[in-house]
């Protein structure tokens, strides 16, 4: 059973003469097959939490571990290997290469694992089929809709068969219909593959598709439904 665990994690940034308490004593566990939505207003520390989970940042205090491995104790090389082999990352801005096809965009992780382009294409194609792009393998990003582009990005995150899925505002650039599709897809993937997933979002609709919702405010974690937070209620109603 893979699990992402954060225990009493603290991360502060100096900002001028003040200190920003981005993450302030957060404890969290996401287990296999569980998709968790992380809400929070801008500057609440969501991205910092994501960076800590991805091993891109060490906490000032506390412990971040995945599958029993302490991410803070990893060397840069080990940390890169962790992201390569264990983490699938989905971005709001997709970050697709404009000249490359959907297939070549989705496989971009694999060459770093030592696969040839030929092998990588063979390994990636089923994932594009899985996300519904089996007919659009050779299409370039500008020939795809926004939802399809995000599907390519999701396929790219999945091709390495990650043990952890991290998503940063994956529906931030999508309309409501495409948002629904993507959220369904993420939920299904987490459930099917039995991987833990952390979804950073502003989107109120995500609630319906995730297994659990947590909220970060001023660096502190608030477990529970977002309607309890007036600021997010306003956001949802808008």
Partner 1 sequence: MNSALLGLRPSMLVFLYRRRLRAHPVQELLAGAGIAIGVALVFGVLLANAGLTGSTERLVRALSGSARLTLLARSPAGFPEALTGRVRALPGVRVATSVLRENMIVEGPSGRQPVQLIGVSPSLSSLGGISQQELGNGALLLSGGLGLPGGVAETIGARRGTRVRVIGNGASHSLGVGAVITSESVKALAGSPVAVALLPVAQRLAGRRGRVTQTLVVPAPGRTAQVANEMRALAGGQLDVESADHELQLLSQATTPNRQSTSLFSAISIMVGFLLALNAMLLTVPERRRFIAELRMQGYDQRQILLMLAFQAVALGLVASVLGVVLGDVLARTLYHQAPSYLAVAFPIAAEQSLSIGLAVAAIACGVLATVLASLSPVLDLRPGLPADAVFRDAGPSGGLLTVAAMRWCGLAGLVMIVLVGALVAIVPAATIFGGVALAVATVLLVPPMLAGVAGWFPRLSAGSRSGAVILAASELRAISTRSVALGAIVALAVYGSVAIGGARDDLLNGIETATAQYHSTAALWVADGSNVFNTDGFPATVTKRLARVPAVSSVRVYRGGLIDIGSRRLWVRARPVGDPTMFEASQLISGDFTHAQALIRQGGWAAVSSGFAREHGLLVGSRLRLPTPRGLASLRVAALTTNSGWPGGTVTLSARDYSRWWGSAEATALELGLHSGVSPAAGAGAVRSALGPGTGLLVQTSAQSAARADASAREGLRTLSDISTMLLIAAALAVAAALSTTVWQRRARLASLKIQGYHAGQLWLGLLLESVVMIAVGSLVGAVVGVYGHALAAHWLTITTGFPAPFSIGAGHVLLTFALVTAIASVVISLPGMAAARVPPRMSLQE
Whether 37 contacts 206, CB under 8 Å: yes
Q: Which span (27-35, 41-49, 127-135, 179-187) binds partner 1, by CB under 8 A?
A: 41-49
Of 19, 97, 129, 188, the one binding partner 1 (CB under 8 A) is: 97
Q: Which residue has the tokens 């900002």?
A: 15
Q: Which of 78, 80, 57 is nearest to 69 (CA)?
A: 78
**138 vs 227, which CB is nearer to partner 1?**
138
Q: Is residue 91 close enough to count as binding partner 1 by CB under 8 A?
A: yes
Q: Please state, as a whole number, how many other Cβ atoms lie within 10 Å of the Cβ of residue 180.
A: 17
Listing DSSP states for 17-73 in one string gives TEEEEEEEEEEEEEETT-EEEEE--TTSSHHHHHHHHTTSS--SEEEEEETTEEGGG
Of 15, 17, 42, 237, the one binding partner 1 (CB under 8 A) is: 42
Q: Is residue 146 close enough to count as binding partner 1 by CB under 8 A?
A: yes
Q: Is residue 43 close enough to count as binding partner 1 by CB under 8 A?
A: yes
Of 7, 12, 130, 140, the one binding partner 1 (CB under 8 A) is: 140
Whether 171 contacts 203, CB under 8 Å: yes
3-class secondary structure, 181: helix
Contacting residues toward partner 1, per CB under 8 A:
42-43, 47, 50-51, 54, 56-57, 77, 80-81, 83-85, 87, 89, 91-101, 104-105, 108-109, 111-118, 120, 140-142, 144, 146, 149, 156, 168-169, 172-173
């Amino acid at each position: 059973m893979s699990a992402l665990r954060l225990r009493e994690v603290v991360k502060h940034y100096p900002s001028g003469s003040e200190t920003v308490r981005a993450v302030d004593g957060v404890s969290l566990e996401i287990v296999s097959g569980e998709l968790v939505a992380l809400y929070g207003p801008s500057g609440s520390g969501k991205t910092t939490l994501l960076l800590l989970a991805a091993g891109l940042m060490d906490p000032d205090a506390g412990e971040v571990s995945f599958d029993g491995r302490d991410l803070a104790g990893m060397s840069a090389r080990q940390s890169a290997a962790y992201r390569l082999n264990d983490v699938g990352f989905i971005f709001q801005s997709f970050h697709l290469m404009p000249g490359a096809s959907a297939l070549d965009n989705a496989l971009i992780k694999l060459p770093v694992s030592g696969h040839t382009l030929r092998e990588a294409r063979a390994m990636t194609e089923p994932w594009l089929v899985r996300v519904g792009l089996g007919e659009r393998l050779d299409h370039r990003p500008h020939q795809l809709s926004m939802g399809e582009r995000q599907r390519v990005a999701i396929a790219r995150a999945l091709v390495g068969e990650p043990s952890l899925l991290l998503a940063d505002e994956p529906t931030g650039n999508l309309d409501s219909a495409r948002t629904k599709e993507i959220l369904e897809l993420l939920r299904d993937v987490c459930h099917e593959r039995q991987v833990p997933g952390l979804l950073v979002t502003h989107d109120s609709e995500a609630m319906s598709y995730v297994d659990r919702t947590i909220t970060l405010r001023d660096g502190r974690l608030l477990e529970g439904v977002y309607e309890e937070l007036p600021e997010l209620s306003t956001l949802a109603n808008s």
